[in-house]
Amino acid sequence: MPESESAARPTVDAVRVMLVEDDDFTRVTLRAALERYDIQVVAEASDAKNAIQQAVDSRAQVGIFDLDLGPGPTGIDVANGVRRLLPDFGVVILTSYEDPRLLSASLARVPRGAGYIVKQSLADLDFLVAAVVGTLHGRQETQAPRVDMTDAQIETLRLLACGLTNSEIARARVVEVKSVEQTISRTAKRLGIDADGTLNQRVALARAYYRLVGSRLNADVIEFPHS
């Protein structure tokens, strides 16, 4: 390794890390990359099941948690569970969600002192390694980002992107259909999506949602029922 490259990297001292990531390729790739920084990956989990016990058994010092682990507990839930047993455990949330509310409107709070890193903004691993070291020593406090939309707008956008009609969204949110229509209109305006005859507004909104959650899903293939 070139001397200049080594000097530029964050200083680590055999940090013991646990990875909680549901995508096998991402988990394997992340492990290999971290080990180049002399970070020991001592435990791995693809879902919430057994992850907390693995953290204890492996004597990990820091956990890197994906936010969305599929159906069931989220990475934040697992991190909070570990913290209840290991109060000094370092937490880094590494996710494609630019705002955790995009996953769910009822998420638990990100643990105190945790780092929150959006994958799309990660130019290299130096920043991630610095977050791991910082949270281990209590120096990291990266607040979860918030996109410039209200909770109601984000929840409506999420349900719309799932293909729900306005009536179904109204039932899910326990509001009137008229309220959903107004929220969609305000959300489109906030995202710079104009309602004209040349644009399918719902498809455009779905595309915006998938961009915000870092998904490559092409909204063009989604067919939305009429409201």
The model's pLDDT over 82-132, given as tens digits with 9 standing for 90+, comes to 999 999 999 999 999 988 989 988 888 888 888 899 988 887 888 888 888
Parallel, antiparallel or unpaired: strands 115-118 and 40-45:
unpaired
Q: State pLDDT tens for residues 190-221.
A: 998 876 655 688 999 999 999 999 875 544 44
Distance of alpha carbon 209 from alpha carbon 11, whole angstroms: 37
Question: Considering the entire predicted model, what is its pTM?
Answer: 0.79
Residues 6+ apart with CB under 8 A from 136: 15, 61, 62, 90
Distance of alpha carbon 224 from alpha carbon 227, whole angstroms: 9
Strand partners, 117: 94
| CATH numbers and ranges of domains, the chain | 3-136 (3.40.50.2300), 151-221 (1.10.10)
Strand partners, 116: 93
Residues 6+ apart with CB under 8 A from 70: 22, 47
